[in-house]
């Protein structure tokens, strides 16, 4: 069965320094069209870095 396209989608947040996908979250496409950029803690770098939105495979 095909999945319905809803306003809320699952996304992954990828660290800009180590390039690892550390976090996953939900995003409402109707309210936020641009890609998310959040400052989150990266456990591999052990510091706060910018994380950008990517797709979940």
pLDDT per residue of the chain (57 residues) written in tens, 0 to 9: 666 778 999 999 999 999 999 999 999 999 999 999 999 999 999 999 999 999 998
Q: Look up the CATH superfamily of 8-54.
A: Ribosomal protein L33 (2.20.28.120)
Strands (E), 1-57: 8-15, 21-28, 37-42, 47-54
HSE at residue 43, side-chain half, CA atoms within 13 A, is 3
User: pTM (2 decimals)?
Assistant: 0.83
Measured CA to CA in angstroms, residue 34 lies from 1, 22, 43, 46 at distances of 30, 20, 26, 28
Domain boundaries, the chain: 8-54
What the block records as the tokens of 10 is 């699952």
């Amino acid at each position: 069965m095909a999945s319905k396209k809803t306003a809320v989608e699952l996304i992954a947040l990828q660290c800009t320094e180590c390039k690892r996908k550390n976090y996953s979250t939900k995003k409402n496409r109707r309210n936020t069209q641009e890609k998310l950029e959040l400052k989150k803690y990266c456990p591999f770098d052990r510091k706060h870095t910018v994380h950008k939105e990517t797709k979940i495979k």
